[in-house]
Amino acid sequence: MVKVNLDGGVVTFDVQGLHKLWTLKGCVRVPITQINDVRPDPRALEGLWKGWRFPGIQISGLIVAGTYYLRGRKKCWDVSRREKTIVVDIEGDPCTQLTVDVDDLEQVVKDRKSAMGQAED
């Protein structure tokens, strides 16, 4: 699970508990101006191939955590609860996409879209 905080124009994605071990990351900080989109994706765990994993862990249908490389893009994952999954598209950062699960999915999406100046879908 990841806790999401917005402070001073920077969004912090703070990895919690044992997930730090699986992802080998404590947190990711991204300026709000680099976030292109935030959306729920309950289907993120579906499918077997997420890309070349280094480092990380994947148990099909249960957990995807770590750094994955696919089609020239670096994607960071920490998902074990499909119904709480969000996808964050990032521009200008080595990690071009975060796929994580959060406690309050609806509130996180609403807060980020509001901070980004976007209307809700």
Per-residue pLDDT 10s for the chain (121 aa) are 899 998 888 999 999 988 888 888 888 999 999 999 999 999 988 888 899 988 888 888 889 999 999 999 999 999 999 999 999 999 988 999 999 999 888 888 787 778 777 644 4
Nearest to 41 by CA among 102, 93, 113: 102
Q: What is the dihedral of CA 84, 106, 119, 43, to 10 degrees?
A: 20
Where along the chain do its domains lie? 2-115
- Whether 14 and 115 have beta carbons less than 8 Å apart is answered as no
- The answer to whether the CB of 50 falls within 8 A of the CB of 58 is yes
60: nearest Cα among 51, 73, 72, 47? 47
pTM: 0.86
